[in-house]
Structures are given as C-alpha cells and as structure tokens.
Amino acid sequence: MKNIGITLSRSDPAGVNILRALKGEGFKEIESESILKNGNIYLFVIDQLIVPEEKYKVSSETQPYPVDYDALAQKYSIEYYVVASRHWSESGKPCLTVHPTGNFGKAIYGGRTRELQRTVANPMRNVFLELLKNAPKDYDVSLEATHHSPTEFKTPMFFAELGSSESQWRDENVADHLASAILNGIKSTQRVEIAIGFGGGHYCPTFTFMERGIAFGHICPKYALDLLTDDLISQMVEKTLDKVDYAVLDEGIKGYQKKKIEVSIRKIGVKIRD
C-alpha cells in the first residue's frame, strides 16, 4: 500500500496553524521536526513558502521548486500530496477551497510557463466533500480553477486552502476543520466519474455544485480560455491522472472558444458531456 503526503510551510501562518492541528490529530516526528507520520500518511514541513508571495519572485528555471517533492515521494513511497496552505484574496472573504495547480499562461507565481501539474481528481473531491460537512459558519466551500505553482513534479498534488486573510489563517477552529477534512478525505475510498472543466469564474460555481456527483481535475476558467492550445488541453486530460471520462463546458463560453475546445477534445478522444 502506498503512502500519502501532506505538505505545508512554516512561513505560512495558515500552514503553522494547520501543523498545530495535525499534531493534535496524532502526527509525530520520525526523523526530524520536518518529517512527521501518522499511519500511512507523512507530513513534510518546509521552511520556505510553497507558492511565492511576490509575482515573478522565483525564476521558472529554478529546480527543484520549492523542494524536490519527487525525491521525497520516491524515498517514502508517496502516491500523491495534499498541500495545506493559506488562500489570499482582496475580498478577504472566509473560504475553504481545493484546486489543482498549473499555469495556462506566464508563470507569475512560480512553476513553468504553460505547464500544468499532475493531479488526482477523486482524492481532491473526497477532501472537498469532507470540507462541506459541518463547514464553519460563514465560510464558503468551493473548487478553484487551476492556477499557480508547482507545475513540474511527476508526483500528483492538489491544494487544500484556508482563506482569505490573516484573521482566518489564524483561526484555530477552522484550521482544525481543514486538517480533519484532509485526513478523512485521504482515508476515503469513494470513486466517481472524472471530468475536466472549461469556463466559469475562478471559484467555479457550476463545477463546485457538480463536484458533489463527479470529480473535477483540471479546470480552465473563462479568463484563461484564450490562452488554451492543443497542448494545454492535452495536459488537462493527461495530467488528471485518475483518467478523465469527459469534459464539461460551462455556459457563457464564446462560440470560437467552444469550437476550439471541442475540436481539440475530440482529437484526444474524450467525450463532451451534454
């Protein structure tokens, strides 16, 4: 049986709070204060931010970024990672989110330009479903579209985030809820059909609603549709590793965008859900 990895950063106030919560769930140091374990789940704690805070702060040529998660995966037989992280937005609205990572355009916050990170849709959905259960009052639970780094690792990963401002990052009750949701989601064996999504806003209201019945991997939001190429659409399919059953197109996609997506998707051999 393979192991699962959780990773977070000491430079992230939400990460520090989630680390406290995970220790309360039984994680113990095994080799150093940076590697902890609970059953078949490993927790890797790093010093630097996993996603750079400032635009273009980390060169896309810097390797490995931010640590060599593939080397850790090989050493500890890690199947995939859940990155427990803060979420920031100008609105500061309380939220809990999950999402895959990747850059449809320039690598503004780390990773490589026009590259998507490998991810797993069903485990991400299982964490999402756990976040929905008894969610903290006034917190929205949603998917986010694919964005930011990392992009280059062979080991799949996805983010589970607490947002969207300092007061939420330091809220111990919400960090406890996120930590518990990650652990229960990891333990879940539930599997459903898998889709990739096109269109909609960054917080994917249509796909978030649909996530209760199907599992979304990579999602290209409306604002990034004009950046799509055949290669990026192929990456959306190929790098959703638990096999895509179909694509879903949200309403409001322009005609020329829809045609481009449909042609590319059909060339790959993936169905489009009506």
Domain residue ranges of the chain, discontinuous segments joined by +: 3-272
pLDDT at 65 over 80: no
At 27, list the tokens: 């994680």
In 3-state terms, what secondary structure has residue 10?
Answer: coil
- Burial of residue 173 (number of CB atoms within 10 Å: 0-12, 13-18, 19+): exposed
CB 184 within 8 A of CB 125: no
pLDDT at 60 over 60: no
Kindly report the pTM of this predicted structure. Answer: 0.96
List pLDDT tens digits, range 223-268: 999 999 999 999 999 999 999 999 999 999 999 999 999 999 999 9
At 95, list the tokens: 């939220």
Q: How many residues does the chain have?
A: 274
List pLDDT tens digits, range 208-223: 999 999 999 999 999 9
Average predicted confidence (pLDDT) for the chain: 95
Instruction: Report the interhelical angle of 121-132 vs 172-187 (nearest 10°).
Output: 140
List pLDDT tens digits, range 125-180: 999 999 999 999 999 999 999 999 999 999 999 999 999 899 999 999 999 999 99
In 3-state terms, what secondary structure has residue 45?
Answer: strand
CA 163 distance to own-chain centroid: 14
Homologous superfamily in CATH for domain 3-272: AF0625-like (3.40.630.50)
- Nearest to 179, CA basis, from 82, 90, 263: 82
Q: How far is CA 42 from each of CA 46, 128, 138, 172, 244, rounded to the nearest angstrom? A: 13, 20, 31, 22, 27
β-bridge pairing 246-249 and 194-198:
parallel
